[in-house]
Structure 1
Amino acid sequence: MDPRYADGSDFSIVKTPEKCNPVSTSDGDQGCEDLNASIRKLSLASTTTSSHLDRIDAFTALLGFCEQSAPAMILDLFSEYCAPENIAKVGEGTYGEAFRAANVVCKIVPFDGDFPVNGEVQKKSEELLEEAVLSKALNSLRGFEKDDFNACTTFIETIDLKVCRGLYGAALISAWERWDEKNRSENDHPKEFPEKQLYLVYVLQHGGKDLESFVLENFDEARSLLVQVTAALAVAEAAYEFEHRDLHWGNILLSRNDSVTMKFILEGKQISFRTYGLSVSIIDFTLSRLNTGENILFLDLSQDPYLFKGPKGDKQSETYRKMKDVTEDQWEGSFPRTNVLWLIYLVDILLLKKTFVCSLKNKREMRSLKKRLDKYDSAKEAILVPFFGDLLVND
């Protein structure tokens, strides 16, 4: 699935964007110029033609965005965070492997190779460039400065991005094989990669366990999960017309800490919610859609018909099909209702797939929430539901 990609600009000077509120056009939004200037050069628009693509050196653009003149070695990058013998694989997906290095997670995604990986065609430079820009744009929401109009820390922090080339190296191979021995990997063994293989490595904060494997303790934690995800989507909608479009339970990470509240800024208004010690991180923006104010970044899901052919009755598969109905298979446009569809999916997951201390009254409240959500067209509307009312903390 290639993202639509256009313009023949010189990408070698593209730098990591700075934090700002890009979509807003009010006179008070200063500091957006760096992000908009950078992304303007990318022009990830929907009017692509093959002649445009021929003029773009997307690999050079990706290097420039990562502030590199040449690819690095993978183990050299890992060595910045921990000793090689301390690297541990923590997960995998169709397009990449995830390894822990001290307090960060490094997601390694092979790209631009001419052979399939895990049964799929390798991603191209232009696809990863779009994902990199999108990840950095969401990073821009993480600060809470005095003039911030929209802010939250729920989207996973991208600490660094690096283009790498070469073999995995003995330490990474050993970590992969240890995980394989315990978990039986479904992925190809990385020793099969050639010496010239390219990778994009995302250095991410460690967000905890995914919702599928995380054990929720009680109804308060379930509500905390829902309000944090809803508020984050509302903030990103306001800032970027953002839609995640793939918010299944593997893309929500959870951990516990000593926090009492979580702060958000939504359209200039600061709001805080009780967390009950639960921290939520949203990951994986491969299918996401975002409007910088200058360009629209999106993946044309009409090019992947298999996404919509999952089993009937499966909540995740049904959500993809509902998104297709909402968008009428035109994926460039703004359809924040897709965020609400994933919120409904999460309520279903909590009701059907997760076990935690929950009274019959609590379950009725969640079913009532699901019915109410079905009437909304955006997370910005959903954050106002009475279900979240007593989680709100007056600042």
Structure 2
Amino acid sequence: MPDFTPNTHTWSRLKAALSVACEDADLSDAEKVYAECGQQHPLLWEECILPHRMKRCVKIGEGTFGEVFSTVNTSGDTVALKIIPVEGSEIVNGEDQKTFGEILHEIIISKELSSLKEKQQNQTHSFIGLRDLHCVRGCYPPDFLNAWDRFDQQKGSENDRPDFFENDQLFIILEFEFGGIDLENSNGTMASLVVAKSILHQVTAALAVAEEELQFEHRDLHWGNVLVKTTKLKTWSFLLNGVTHSVETKGVLVRIIDYSLSRLAIDDLTVSCDISKDEELFMGQGDYQFDIYRLMRQENGNNWSNFHPHTNVLWLHYLCSKLLSMKYRGPGGRGAKDTREELTRFYDNVLQYSSATEALKNCPMFQ
């Protein structure tokens, strides 16, 4: 369960922070979610996703939480729809459905990180942009089921086919900008280790900005949660404590996604997910990712509400190991050997830093 049961005072402050007009602070979790969606009650699927948009949907990803589809928005831009069943009694992909209280945690963090692109002191575009938010009721639409089947035939799905939901099932639809392809599925497609170095720099900078502005910890930054897309921009800028910095893109832009385990603070209110009793999460074997969950717990003493920015450094260490082990299209020219050595030095030394901010400021690779 999330560590998120705001009393009247903190909820009203949070509402101010999230600029959602709301006079009555004594709302149920359902009403809070509807308010975040700009709705009074759940709508029908086709009221939120118009039929021509449904027809163009393609499944692009999945998790135990639910499904991710791409489609176009009213402006013709590609967007990603993260569709999460909530509040129902049906077991989905082996898990209980999220409650409104739990989904509120992800909505709030998604909004806060998306709005970092507009901040005056600490600004970044590297967290996925949240474009829209809906709460819908009803069975899974046929167009989405067809897209689900195509994905299953081509790639194989680990999820249950979402055809068992009844007419009264509720879903939250988070509509994000299209951020590209995740690192795991980019293996073998990126040009060289020079690109990997830029990716690591962009991720570190984004985490530093969020640490400074929001006391943010991602807590689940595995290579499926880092998206990359090609860009013609040569450099990419961010603001850290009022100072503008830039990174060479090497032809890619990073977007960080999935905040279901994340933690941040707005004013004096902490929004976090208490995973202290989720034993299964800490029992994984076979990849460094699973060690990171145990290392985080070791560092925070299984208290998930306090700020421990070194967890971001643990994930940078993990991401560096993945980037070093990935395959690349080309040798990367004369600089490739030097870049591999730089990344290896980063891997050997990054854990000494107390936060992503400290790593960004002091790590030789970023100077």
TM-score (norm 1): 0.85
- Are 1:245 and 1:288, in contact at CA under 8 Å, matched by a contact in 2? yes
SS in 1 for 2:273: coil
- Give yes or no for the alignment of 1:187 onto 2:159: yes
Provide closer, same or farther for how the CA distance between residues 331 and 340 of structure 1 changes in structure 2, counting only shifts above 3 A: same
- Give yes or no for the alignment of 1:164 onto 2:146: no
Considering only aligned residues, what root-mean-square deviation do their CA atoms show, in Å? 2.5
Provide closer, same or farther for how the CA distance between residues 35 and 173 of structure 1 changes in structure 2, counting only shifts above 3 A: same
Query: Residues 125-204 of structure 1: matches in 2 within 5 Å?
Result: 125-143=100-118, 148-204=120-176
SS in 2 for 1:196: coil
Distance 1:264 1:143 in 2: 11
- Give yes or no for the alignment of 1:256 onto 2:233: no
Residue 60 of structure 1 is aligned with which of 31, 48, 51?
31
Deviations for 1:225-250, whole angstroms, at most 9, x for unmatched residues?
00100000000000000000000000
Residue 175 of structure 1 aligns to which amino acid in structure 2? Answer: A
Cα shift at 1:373: 0.7
- Are 2:129 and 2:176, in contact at CA under 8 Å, matched by a contact in 1? yes
Percent of aligned positions that are identical: 36
Match of 2:61 in 1: 91
Distance 2:354 2:140 in 1: 45
Residue 320 of structure 2 is aligned with which of 333, 342, 347?
347
Deviations for 1:15-69, whole angstroms, at most 9, x for unmatched residues?
997xxxxxxxxxxxxxxxx3167599999xxxxxxxxxxx862111110111101
Distance 1:10 1:114 in 2: 32
SS in 2 for 1:212: helix
- Are 1:10 and 1:41, in contact at CA under 8 Å, matched by a contact in 2? no
Residue 94 of structure 1 aligns to which amino acid in structure 2? Answer: T
- Give yes or no for the alignment of 1:369 onto 2:321: no
- Give yes or no for the alignment of 1:280 onto 2:254: yes
- Are 1:327 and 1:335, in contact at CA under 8 Å, matched by a contact in 2? yes
Match of 1:46 in 2: none
SS in 2 for 1:330: coil
Match of 1:386 in 2: 364
SS in 2 for 1:383: helix
Match of 1:220 in 2: 194
After TM superposition, the structure 1 stretch with the greater mean CA deviation from structure 2, 228-237 or 291-300, is: 291-300
Residue 116 of structure 1 is aligned with which of 69, 80, 91?
91
SS in 1 for 2:222: coil
Match of 2:179 in 1: 207
Gaps of 5+ in 1: 18-33, 44-54, 390-395
Match of 1:51 in 2: none
Q: Matched residue pairs, number?
A: 355
Match of 1:294 in 2: 268
Match of 1:35 in 2: 17
After TM superposition, the structure 1 stretch with the greater mean CA deviation from structure 2, 254-263 or 345-354, is: 345-354
Deviations for 1:61-118, whole angstroms, at most 9, x for unmatched residues?
11011110111222332228x4432111111111110111121011100010012101
- Are 1:376 and 1:382, in contact at CA under 8 Å, matched by a contact in 2? yes
Residue 245 of structure 1 is aligned with which of 219, 222, 225?
219
Deviations for 1:303-338, whole angstroms, at most 9, x for unmatched residues?
2111111115x2101111111111111111110000
SS in 1 for 2:184: coil
SS in 1 for 2:80: strand
Residue 104 of structure 1 aligns to which amino acid in structure 2? Answer: V
Distance 2:253 2:86 in 1: 32
Provide closer, same or farther for how the CA distance between residues 122 and 376 of structure 1 changes in structure 2, counting only shifts above 3 A: same
- Are 1:336 and 1:379, in contact at CA under 8 Å, matched by a contact in 2? yes
Distance 2:22 2:314 in 1: 31
- Are 1:155 and 1:282, in contact at CA under 8 Å, matched by a contact in 2? yes
Residue 377 of structure 1 aligns to which amino acid in structure 2? Answer: S
- Are 1:260 and 1:276, in contact at CA under 8 Å, matched by a contact in 2? yes
Distance 2:23 2:100 in 1: 16
- Are 2:193 and 2:328, in contact at CA under 8 Å, matched by a contact in 1? no
- Are 1:165 and 1:199, in contact at CA under 8 Å, matched by a contact in 2? yes
Structure 1 residue runs of 4 or more that deviate by more than 3 Å after TM superposition: 7-11, 13-17, 36-43, 353-356, 358-361
SS in 2 for 1:97: strand
- Are 2:121 and 2:240, in contact at CA under 8 Å, matched by a contact in 1? yes
- Are 1:167 and 1:191, in contact at CA under 8 Å, matched by a contact in 2? yes
Residue 5 of structure 1 aligns to which amino acid in structure 2? Answer: F
Match of 1:325 in 2: 298
